[in-house]
A and B are shown apart, each in its own frame.
Chain A
């Protein structure tokens, strides 16, 4: 059992411990055998621009079986409600009419003030008045406190799962950012009660550029502010970036182990602009990590996986996005070997990648329809795996993400029991996010084990149309792994903020895909599934695959990351001869000719093309975070020193009252 009241940074050894412990609990709950647990941290509801009620999203994401009104639930282990900042005019206890749910119609705050609905009474819209009539909007700090968090508390009890109130921060000067502050949130605390999401709400009020409320909550009849001193001016461009850094420093100072800051769909709006609100260049990720070494530790790839049409659009990316669109359903920053993420890893930074659904709606479909032309429900298509740390809690979600020991999977290409680790001698295995210390010339053994499940959530049983041209028959509802790439890159050291290469010119469109940030990054090994050891685990559990390979330590530090796919090298319109994903817009060059190709696919000259959810289930990838390697006696990497900082802060937090609050109320998953 892991100790409570401490920050836990999992090592390979502790991950093995979790596996051993959980094996003993088989039979009580099949999930207890999994070393990793699946979640989603980026999704929306009618409090902002989503299509369904806040509670409905949670029900579908973490519930089991079938929803009462129809549609599958997706049984996630943990869930962060990560909705936009700003304001919204819809009452998010109701789903939108467009969701086609029985008894649900679009309802605005103006229609429900003073009524008690779902046990919640909203008597007024607080803060600076914002709109009138049906356009009257509730600032998000209020809906976080008074609607979403009470819903999280209600559903936590109903499902006994880890639910977190988070935010998709509309960051000043930039694109959006996944944020959570779990301080004060303990929805299942048996002694102290459910707590509150006030710290999350305060961050939103103070730092979200779409929240221009100048009042916030008040503490007395005189109108004195609970959260005074808001900067409501510097929301744009370079000044906005500085305000964003102030927000990150606020989190680092106050909640260094109980918050995270993960920029999302970072390529979508093109490069950063000094005079607008859009995008990121590499220097902004560096700034974020420098300002928040234990809170700003990564990048999230885009969701919106089913938006791809005949001209592209997957990930909600247009041709003006950096890279011109998605690549293997990821943005070019993380998909390209030698790209921006590899540039951050070349510094030895604790920069990890994550993925989530960005659920809003099913586009042309209602919430219960099996098809989607826009987004998938959390857990349906994409899963973010973090370690199953014994008495699993919201703190462990953040600890797992911060450690880097996590991986991201689309379409259930692999399951919750991946092993990706490396050692040099003895039995000192290091896993994702950790650093292996070696001697020059030493042999490094890398081991990977993964399970390819027997099925995913695809409603389609016809053969993958992208693979028909290469003669492969692969039903879309049967995950199939073609190969795994081990990608290595040299670590050349941290780039100082005043160094000439700290900022790198960026470009919109496909020109942005040509930028090389780490020229040493390469696909060092490609292991075909046919080269892996196979173990059939029965009809229900799929196939267990395993391989071991070796590297020889040179004289420089480096990292090893992994990705896998169902797409063979050189698949026309999908991958290049090395196995890199092409621009996903090319997928629509391929026709879907099976009689079962669904009616909602886009057509060109009357012929259905590989688009929408069919595209998403055809072009499938997983990504695993890096293992770092450095030489004995060499200076520690930034990823190590930042992990040590987290450990020190964790020890200091042992005496922190609220930190104990989180570890006291865990769900016992063993």
Chain B
């Protein structure tokens, strides 16, 4: 569990996933509100699922982008939207929603372009 937490923390640099602590004196979320822990778990599960696809599979790329946004939502404290983005990532992988035709490429500008 500890190792898992460290791993998520490194992966989630920008969102501080797994690194965040409750603010002293801050308000605890309502009982039925999603939590950071649930967000972390959902992201980790979806990330593992995405890793089951070949690195160049378009659905893996889409899933990883969804997970990136999930972490951005967590960084803003919006754990409900984190869960939503993690669910989208899982659905993307399970349903292989994006596929390239033979010879087709998804052109995304790289930072150095």
Q: Which residues of A contact B (CB under 8 A)?
A: 48-51, 70, 84, 86-90, 96-98, 100-104, 106, 108, 128-137, 170, 210, 212-215, 232-233, 235-237, 269, 275-277, 309-311, 313, 316, 318, 360-361, 363-366, 368-369, 373-374, 599-603, 606
Are A128 and B111 interface neighbours, CB within 8 A? Answer: no
Expressed in whole angstroms, the minimum distance between the Cβ of B87 and any Cβ of chain A is 9
**Complex Cα spacing A364 to B101, Å:** 18
**Complex Cα spacing A285 to B60, Å:** 41
Interface residues of B in 45-77 (CB under 8 A from A): 58, 61-62, 65, 68-69, 72-73, 75-77
Q: Please report whether the interface of chain A is mostly helix, strand, loop or mixed according to DSSP.
A: loop
Are B16 and A131 interface neighbours, CB within 8 A? Answer: yes
Are B26 and A212 interface neighbours, CB within 8 A? Answer: yes
Expressed in whole angstroms, the minimum distance between the Cβ of A92 and any Cβ of chain B is 11
For A273, the closest partner residue in chain B by CB is B32
Query: What A residues does B101 contact at CB under 8 A?
Result: 599, 606
Could you count the A-B residue pairs with CB atoms below 8 Å apart for me: how many are there? Answer: 159
Subset of 24 A-B contacts with CB under 8 Å: A48-B75, A48-B76, A49-B73, A50-B72, A84-B76, A84-B78, A86-B76, A86-B77, A88-B76, A101-B111, A104-B111, A135-B15, A135-B19, A210-B76, A215-B25, A232-B27, A236-B30, A277-B30, A363-B62, A363-B65, A368-B109, A599-B58, A599-B105, A603-B99
Other-chain contact of A90, B14, B19, B112 (Cβ < 8 Å): B14
Task: Given the known inter-chain contacts A100-B108, A363-B65, please indicate yes or no for A137 contacting B20, CB distance below 8 A.
Answer: yes
Query: What B residues does A87 contact at CB under 8 A?
Result: 76-77
For B19, the closest partner residue in chain A by CB is A135
Q: Which residues of B contact A (CB under 8 A)?
A: 9, 13-17, 19-21, 23-27, 30, 32-33, 58, 61-62, 65, 68-69, 72-73, 75-78, 80-81, 84, 88, 91, 95, 97-101, 104-113
6 closest A-B pairs by CB? A135-B16, A135-B19, A106-B14, A212-B26, A135-B20, A236-B30
Query: What B residues does A48 contact at CB under 8 A?
Result: 75-76
Query: What A residues does B98 contact at CB under 8 A?
Result: 600-603
For B92, the closest partner residue in chain A by CB is A309
**Complex Cα spacing A669 to B109, Å:** 37
Expressed in whole angstroms, the minimum distance between the Cβ of A307 and any Cβ of chain B is 9
Are B99 and A276 interface neighbours, CB within 8 A? Answer: no
Expressed in whole angstroms, the minimum distance between the Cβ of A588 and any Cβ of chain B is 10
Task: Given the known inter-chain contacts A131-B23, A369-B108, A599-B105, please indicate yes or no for A364 contacting B65, CB distance below 8 A.
Answer: yes
Expressed in whole angstroms, the minimum distance between the Cβ of A94 and any Cβ of chain B is 10
Are B27 and A132 interface neighbours, CB within 8 A? Answer: no
**Complex Cα spacing A560 to B23, Å:** 51
**Complex Cα spacing A361 to B16, Å:** 19
Expressed in whole angstroms, the minimum distance between the Cβ of A607 and any Cβ of chain B is 10
**Complex Cα spacing A196 to B21, Å:** 31
**Complex Cα spacing A373 to B64, Å:** 13
Other-chain contact of B62, A170, A364, A366 (Cβ < 8 Å): A364
